[in-house]
Chains A and B, each alone.
Chain A
Amino acid sequence: MSKMKIATVWLDGCSGCHMSMFDMDEKLIDILEKVDLVYSPLVDAKEFPEGVDVTVIEGGVGSEEDKHMLELIRARTHMLVSYGDCAVTGNVPSLRNRFSVDDLIKRSYIENVSAHGDGGGNVPGDAVPRLLPVERPLHEVVRVDVFIPGCPPRPGLTYFMLKELLEGRMPDLKEKTRFGL
């Protein structure tokens, strides 16, 4: 039997969810023996491949690039996992949703910068993806198969989830994790 193709993706999050995945320590070896990690912040693959079995996504949808990536991932993934509160609820990045994007940019790149005496006024241009009006959880943009709340989800839980998926079962995460954590 060919190995299962797994991807992990970092959208609008703090990378804490990825850190938590690594925290499963030696269990990582157990998992990595059974899968092919075809795309991840840890893997030098430039383009998201076709035919991925499981994609675990950290972070919400905050920019046009996030949205584009997510739609591409969905089209190329069999099982999509919304991983961590940012992906599931919007969480910390969604704190910005009460303000307009213009006000945010002004605050971050003009007012706050000039307050520190280095001039400010350098609003990023074409090289940076444009922010969407609001940060949104993944399932508001594409269909999601598995939800794992937690900020971040506990390492043991990630192991449990991947094991279940590897063995062809839908992981039952009830009472195993919660929002906030």
Chain B
Amino acid sequence: MNESARIVTFKMDGREIGAREDETILQVATDNGIFIPTLCYLEGLSAMGGCRLCMVEVKETSKLVPSCVTYAREGMEVITNSERLAKYRIMLLELFFAERNHICAICVANGRCELQNLTVNLGMTHVHFPYFYPRVPVDASHERFVLDHNRCILCTRCVRVCAEIEGAHTLDVMTRGMDSRIITDLNQAWGSSVTCTRCGKCVNVCPTGALSEKGKAVADIAVKKQFLPYLTRMRRGKQ
């Protein structure tokens, strides 16, 4: 955060709001108790604007903008919730479900999954699109962790935490579009990775059941995301 950042005033959902010019709309909304759904954003990691769930309306343009990478500007008018946004957000959720094989009833993350929770919060009742049913593998070669591509939504939180916080950059994304896959090192089995430090940060930030720890019953699994903002603050030398 830039110490000399100016303060801007703008409107969010009709409220007059003051914010620093280096704050994103998502940060300002969160600070003001306004809920904007996201899946790829996580405090402490770089923002990538990938999942598109955090899109908001901005008065001067008809385009929707991702609030996690859009900065507050003087005089702007933002709407974080409208019928149009609700419709698109549900559509996005449905596309996540249609693209892989998310079978919640038998998933390790059942009951603590961010994707599943959003279906409840945003009111998604079923998927209007035909399911794709891709045949994707599960990599259980690591001695402690499992990567199940059936549940992956390509949010890249795991990639970013591994590169930006752990500094290992074991994980990455291969190919494009619907064929995109999370890979370890040069697309080799995770168990054979020489860069992975086995820190488990990736497992802790995964919003779905795509990354999990071996040998734990579903009820015992607790994800710890709080470590991220703490680590980032410490690195900046600020407590």
> Which chain B positions have C-beta within 8 A of A178?
104, 116-117, 119-120
Size category, B interface: 20 to 34
Query: In A144-181, which residues have CB < 8 Å from any B CB?
Result: 144, 147, 149, 151, 173-175, 178-181
- The answer to whether the Cβ of B199 comes within 8 Å of any Cβ in the partner chain is no
Residue of B nearest to A96 (CB): B133
- The answer to whether the Cβ of A88 comes within 8 Å of any Cβ in the partner chain is yes
- The answer to whether the Cβ of A89 comes within 8 Å of any Cβ in the partner chain is yes
Say yes or no: B101 contacts A92, CB within 8 Å.
no
> Which chain A positions have C-beta within 8 A of B194?
none
- The answer to whether the Cβ of B131 comes within 8 Å of any Cβ in the partner chain is yes
Q: How many residues of A contact B (CB 8 A)?
A: 27
Say yes or no: A91 contacts B103, CB within 8 Å.
yes
Say yes or no: A140 contacts B130, CB within 8 Å.
yes
Bound-state Cα–Cα, A140 to B127, Å: 9
> Which chain B positions have C-beta within 8 A of A88?
125-126
Question: What's the nearest-Cβ distance from chain B to residue A89, in Å?
Answer: 7
Residue of B nearest to A178 (CB): B120
> Which chain B positions have C-beta within 8 A of A90?
131
- The answer to whether the Cβ of B97 comes within 8 Å of any Cβ in the partner chain is yes
Say yes or no: A82 contacts B126, CB within 8 Å.
yes
> Which chain B positions have C-beta within 8 A of A179?
102, 104-105, 116, 119
- The answer to whether the Cβ of B111 comes within 8 Å of any Cβ in the partner chain is yes
Residue of A nearest to B123 (CB): A174
Say yes or no: A181 contacts B130, CB within 8 Å.
no
A85-B104, A151-B104, A178-B116 are known contacts. Are A98 and B126 too (CB-CB below 8 A)? no
Say yes or no: A92 contacts B103, CB within 8 Å.
yes
Bound-state Cα–Cα, A90 to B101, Å: 10
- The answer to whether the Cβ of B135 comes within 8 Å of any Cβ in the partner chain is yes
Say yes or no: B135 contacts A98, CB within 8 Å.
yes
> Which chain B positions have C-beta within 8 A of A91?
103, 105
> Which chain A positions have C-beta within 8 A of B140?
none
- The answer to whether the Cβ of A97 comes within 8 Å of any Cβ in the partner chain is yes
A149-B126, A180-B116 are known contacts. Are A92 and B133 too (CB-CB below 8 A)? no
Q: Is the interface of B mostly helix, strand, loop or mixed?
A: loop
> Which chain B positions have C-beta within 8 A of A173?
125
- The answer to whether the Cβ of A137 comes within 8 Å of any Cβ in the partner chain is yes
> Which chain A positions have C-beta within 8 A of B47?
none
Question: What's the nearest-Cβ distance from chain A to residue B93, in Å?
Answer: 11
Say yes or no: A92 contacts B106, CB within 8 Å.
yes
> Which chain B positions have C-beta within 8 A of A74?
none
Query: In B132-168, which residues have CB < 8 Å from any A CB?
Result: 133-135
Say yes or no: B105 contacts A94, CB within 8 Å.
no
> Which chain A positions have C-beta within 8 A of B107?
180
Say yes or no: B126 contacts A137, CB within 8 Å.
yes
A85-B105, A91-B103, A147-B126 are known contacts. Are A98 and B133 too (CB-CB below 8 A)? yes
Say yes or no: A98 contacts B125, CB within 8 Å.
no
Instruction: Encode contact with B along A84-111: 1 for CB under 8 Å, 0 otherwise.
Output: 0100111110110110000000000000
> Which chain B positions have C-beta within 8 A of A174?
123
Say yes or no: A151 contacts B105, CB within 8 Å.
yes
- The answer to whether the Cβ of A139 comes within 8 Å of any Cβ in the partner chain is yes
- The answer to whether the Cβ of B110 comes within 8 Å of any Cβ in the partner chain is yes
Residue of B nearest to A177 (CB): B120
Bound-state Cα–Cα, A136 to B131, Å: 9
Question: What's the nearest-Cβ distance from chain B to residue A100, in Å?
Answer: 11
Say yes or no: A89 contacts B125, CB within 8 Å.
no
Bound-state Cα–Cα, A98 to B149, Å: 13
A-B contact pairs, 18 of them (CB 8 A): A85-B103, A85-B105, A88-B126, A90-B131, A91-B103, A92-B103, A94-B131, A95-B101, A95-B103, A97-B101, A97-B133, A140-B130, A147-B126, A149-B126, A178-B117, A179-B105, A180-B116, A181-B104
Residues of B whose CB lies within 8 Å of any CB of A are 97, 101-107, 110-111, 113, 116-117, 119-121, 123, 125-127, 130-131, 133-135
